[in-house]
């Protein structure tokens, strides 16, 4: 019980400490949307030939005719009550739109993270066990290539290779093939919903649609995970307890797997939180390339239409997820390594 109370106090302190950062995100996003070019009233007026009176009426209805400080105070009051406004693009409350689209983005990011870890840990381990070798240089080249190539370029290349040339990937137009039966809306995570209903054919169709966008995102975050694995494992391999384990005759495999790799993965656990939060914000272009109906494509469409509320809601949501994920990683790190205090 004492441990749970200690963790609870730590969570409360971290959440309180994150409130100023979230407040700054809200204010900064609000001000940036007001200084960007474009007038939403002009964009959403009835057609390009709308009169000035119609535009002025729409600006008044949206509250854009008021001074910026007054608009900010009204917006902060709405955010405090959970009201993020209404999207002029969809006509729905922003909270509803984000709640409907968030599972698609989380499913994509989580699958991409699993793929990235499945590639990064073996690559980083192989590079650390042979520093300066051909394998080490090859891993560095692959990681550098993944960082240098923009996600929309790698996504288009994967589509061209696996869909156009090889023909083994499905049409990259959303979460599910247009000829497949829709998944029941239980959790919003399509793979989970198909499993819950026992529809294996639907699960395979959804998984096939997910592979290419998830692989695109995985290549984007492969470098930091592989580099951290390599650097951490190299540091652990030079530790005294590793030399002691070798000196008493333990097998090389047991030393690496049971002792070195286990301790080397703790710093990787820390960077996972940063990587996952980055993926939620960076998957905007991936979602557009693959027509993925997530929060990233939703925010991009709103930004192009000068629709303020969805963009502000998207940024606030990503910031809140960033705080929550890093708090969870911080607690898990303390649980995994008893030397780290969670008090």
| pLDDT, tens digit, 9 for 90 and up, residues 116-128 | 999 988 898 888 8
**Residue at 299 is within a domain:** no
Lowest mean pLDDT segment, chosen from 239-248, 289-298, 303-312: 239-248
The percent of residues in the chain predicted with pLDDT above 70, rounded, is 89
Query: By residue range, what is the domain housing residue 242?
Result: 100-291
**Residue at 163 is within a domain:** yes
For residue 134, pLDDT over 80 is answered with yes
Please report, for the domain that includes residue 169, its CATH number: 1.10.3720.10
* Residue 59: predicted pLDDT: 74
pLDDT band, residue 342 (cuts 50/70/90): very low
Mean pLDDT to the nearest integer, 157-186? 85
**Residue at 201 is within a domain:** yes
For residue 47, pLDDT over 80 is answered with no
**Residue at 35 is within a domain:** no
φ, ψ for residue 2, nearest 5 deg: -65, -40
The set of residues, in sequence order, having a beta carbon less than 8 Å from that of 268 and lying 6+ positions away, is: 121, 225, 228, 229, 232
**Which ranges of the chain would DSSP assign to H, the alpha helix?**
2-35, 40-44, 52-62, 68-80, 94-129, 134-148, 151-159, 190-196, 200-237, 240-247, 252-254, 262-282, 284-289, 295-304, 308-336
pLDDT band, residue 46 (cuts 50/70/90): low
For residue 239, pLDDT over 60 is answered with yes
Number of domains into which the chain is organized: 1
């Amino acid at each position: 019980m004492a441990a749970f109370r200690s963790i609870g106090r730590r969570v409360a302190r971290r959440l309180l400490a994150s409130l100023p950062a979230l407040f700054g995100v809200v204010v900064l996003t609000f001000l940036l949307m007001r200084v960007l070019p474009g007038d939403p009233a002009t964009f959403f007026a009835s057609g390009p030939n709308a009169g000035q009176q119609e535009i002025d009426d729409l600006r008044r209805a949206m509250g854009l005719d008021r001074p910026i400080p007054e608009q900010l105070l009204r917006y902060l009051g709405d955010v405090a009550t959970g009201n993020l406004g209404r999207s002029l693009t969809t006509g729905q409350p922003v909270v509803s739109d984000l709640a409907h689209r968030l599972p698609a983005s989380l499913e994509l990011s989580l699958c991409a993270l699993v793929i990235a870890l499945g590639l990064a840990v073996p690559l980083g381990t192989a590079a650390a066990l042979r520093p300066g070798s051909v394998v080490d240089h090859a891993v560095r080249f692959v990681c550098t290539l993944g960082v240098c190539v923009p996600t929309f370029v790698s996504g288009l290349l994967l589509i061209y290779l696996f869909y156009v040339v090889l023909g083994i990937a499905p049409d990259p137009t959303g979460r599910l093939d247009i000829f497949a039966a829709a998944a029941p809306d239980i959790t919003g995570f399509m793979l989970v919903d198909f499993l819950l209903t026992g529809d294996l054919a639907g699960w395979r169709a959804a998984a096939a649609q997910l592979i290419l966008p998830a692989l695109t995102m995985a290549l984007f975050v492969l470098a930091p995970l592989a580099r951290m694995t390599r650097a951490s494992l190299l540091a652990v391999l030079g530790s005294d307890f590793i030399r002691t384990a070798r000196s008493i005759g333990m097998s090389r495999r047991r030393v690496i797997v049971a002792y070195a790799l286990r301790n080397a993965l703790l710093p990787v656990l820390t960077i996972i939180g940063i990587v996952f939060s980055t993926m939620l914000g960076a998957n905007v272009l991936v979602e557009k390339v693959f027509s993925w109906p997530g929060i990233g494509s939703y925010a991009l469409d709103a930004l192009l239409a000068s629709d303020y509320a969805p963009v502000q809601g998207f940024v606030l949501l990503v910031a809140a997820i960033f705080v929550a994920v890093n708090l969870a990683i911080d607690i898990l790190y303390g649980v995994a390594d008893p030397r780290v205090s969670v008090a």
